[in-house]
């Protein structure tokens, strides 16, 4: 710190914050303001000639009344996908943290390996796996788990599976970081103090992993509830999420004000839920 002060003077802290602050101002704050003003503009304009800022709050009421089912569907799909990620991710993160031994690093690399290919390509490959004539559907039909004309692709199931698959690593990594920090001797101490394996989990491991659970669920739920690729590629018109609606309003209908209003509503809703969630988890379980 002392040497930094020599270079930058007494206000070295400002110099350190500076670059990021400028970056955020240009690429976050400005688009945010633009989004807010667009959301309050008259939809009568066009993307080419611009929209007049008329403080039209009506956009918000219209967005809610027209598109609330998409909003609800998004939250339900994202919620289910987050829960699935939590169950799958917790088991795997636990195994990597406590049981993997020298395979720890290999397994962590495998967890992030999917990121080496594009999100779009990976989701498209699910289209092949779930296809009506694919081996999976045919096997399930043969086993009579699916009916004669039953299908997986273009169903809510496929959308939720896609979301779960795509966001699983974002759940595993924070969970692993949290679990890995837990001293395995605490598990022994709990065993020594009359705790069955299940009690050791509920009384010691789980409470100590709450920071990872909170981090993981946020990193999964937030992007999942705004996602539109999975629904677009793996769903049908009845599985459309709010992200799909925002996208079509922007690109197909060129209705920027309503699209912007819908975005702001989604954002406020998620920020509200996150605050409530973090506060609850924080006061009850966190250190």
Partner 1 sequence: MSLADGVRGDLKLTGLHKRYPNGFVAVQSLDLVIPQGSFFALLGPSGCGKTTTLRMVAGLEDVTKGSIHIGEQDITTAKPYKRPVNTVFQNYALFPHLTIAENVAFGPKRRGVKDPKGSVKEILALTELTEQANKKPAQLSGGQQQRVALARALINRPDVLLLDEPLGALDLKLRRAMQIELKRIQEEVGLTFVHVTHDQEEAMTMADTVAVMNEGRIEQLGAPYELYTNPHTTFVANFLGRTNLIKGTVLGREGSGADEVVKVDMHGTVASIKASRVHTDAKEGWVGIRPEKVLIQPEGQAIDAPGAALSGAVVVDVSYIGVSTDYVLRMPWGQEITCFEQNTGRRGGLIPVGTKVDVSWRPEFAFLLDSAQDAEAGIVEED
In the beta sheet, which residues pair with residue 53?
41
Report the residue number, 153 or 190, with the smaller CB distance to partner 1: 190
Check binding of 193 to partner 1 (CB under 8 A): yes
Residues 6+ positions from 271 with CB-CB distance below 8 Å: none
Residue of 11, 105, 199, 251 that binds partner 1 (CB under 8 A) = 199
Shortest Å, Cβ 210 to partner 1: 8
State the nearest-atom distance from the C-beta of 182 to partner 1, in Å: 9
Which residue in the set 120, 124, 189, 275 belongs to the binding site for partner 1 (CB under 8 A)?
A: 189
Q: Does 271 bind partner 1 (CB under 8 A)?
A: no
Question: How many whole angstroms separate alpha carbon 182 and alpha carbon 98?
Answer: 9
- Shortest Cβ 209–partner 1 spacing (Å): 10
Q: Where are the beta strands (DSSP E) in the chain?
A: none
Count of beta carbons in the 10 Å neighbourhood of residue 223 = 15
Residue among 100 and 146 whose Cβ is closer to partner 1: 100
Element (H, E) at 189: helix 184-192
* CB closer to partner 1, 116 vs 194: 194
Task: Rule CB under 8 A: say whether 66 interacts with partner 1.
Answer: no
Contact 188, 171 (CB under 8 A): no
Between 182 and 246, name the residue whose CB sits nearer to partner 1.
182
Which of these ranges, 77-85, 135-143, 153-161, 192-200, lies near partner 1 under the rule CB under 8 A?
A: 192-200
Q: If you write DSSP's letter for every residue of 215-259 in order, what string do you get? A: HHHHHHHHHHHH--HHHHHH--GGG--HHHHHHHHHHTS--HHHH
**Residue of 148, 149, 192, 252 that binds partner 1 (CB under 8 A):** 192
287 interacts with partner 1 by CB under 8 A: yes
According to the binding rule CB under 8 A, does residue 202 interact with partner 1?
Answer: no
Closest approach, Cβ 201 to partner 1, in A, equals 13
Among 116, 185, 252, 283, binds partner 1 (CB under 8 A): 185
- Which residue among 46, 196, 236, 238 contacts partner 1 (CB under 8 A)? 196
Burial class of 131 by CB neighbour count within 10 A (0 to 12, 13 to 18, 19+): middle
Of the pair 193, 253, the CB lying nearest partner 1 is at: 193
Q: Is 213 in the site for partner 1 (CB under 8 A)?
A: no
**Cβ partners under 8 Å of residue 62, min gap 6:** 258, 261
Q: Are 176 and 212 in contact (CB under 8 A)?
A: yes
Residues 6+ apart with CB under 8 A from 27: none
188 lies in the site for partner 1, by CB under 8 A: yes
CB proximity list for 136: less than 8 A, separation 6 or greater: 129, 130, 152
- 204 is an interface residue for partner 1 by CB under 8 A: yes
Binding site for partner 1 (CB under 8 A): 183, 185-186, 188-196, 199, 203-204, 207-208, 285, 287
């Amino acid at each position: 710190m002392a040497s930094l002060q020599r270079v930058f003077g007494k206000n070295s802290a400002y110099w350190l914050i500076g670059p990021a602050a400028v970056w955020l101002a240009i690429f976050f704050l400005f688009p945010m303001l633009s989004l807010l003003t667009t959301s309050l503009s008259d939809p009568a304009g066009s993307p080419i000639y611009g929209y007049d800022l008329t403080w039209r709050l009506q956009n918000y009421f219209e967005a809610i009344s027209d598109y609330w089912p998409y909003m609800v569907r998004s939250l339900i799909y994202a919620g289910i996908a987050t829960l699935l990620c939590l169950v799958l991710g917790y088991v795997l993160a636990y195994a990597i943290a406590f049981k993997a031994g020298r395979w720890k690093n290999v397994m962590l690399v495998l967890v992030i390996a999917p990121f080496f290919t594009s999100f779009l390509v990976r989701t498209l490959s699910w289209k092949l796996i779930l296809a009506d004539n694919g081996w999976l559907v045919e096997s399930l039909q043969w086993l009579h788990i699916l009916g004669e004309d039953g299908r997986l692709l273009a169903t809510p199931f496929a959308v939720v599976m896609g979301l779960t698959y795509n966001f699983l690593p974002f759940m595993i990594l924070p969970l692993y970081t949290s679990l890995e920090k837990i001293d395995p001797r605490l598990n022994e101490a709990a065993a020594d103090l009359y705790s069955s394996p299940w009690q050791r989990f509920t009384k010691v491991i789980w409470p100590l992993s709450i920071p990872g659970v909170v981090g993981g669920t946020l990193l999964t739920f937030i992007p999942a509830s705004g996602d539109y690729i999975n629904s677009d590629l793996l769903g049908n018109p009845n599985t459309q999420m709010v992200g799909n609606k925002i996208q079509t309003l922007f690109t197909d209908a060129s209705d920027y004000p309503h699209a912007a209003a819908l975005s702001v509503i989604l954002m406020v809703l998620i920020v509200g839920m996150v605050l409530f969630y973090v506060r609850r988890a924080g006061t009850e379980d966190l250190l």
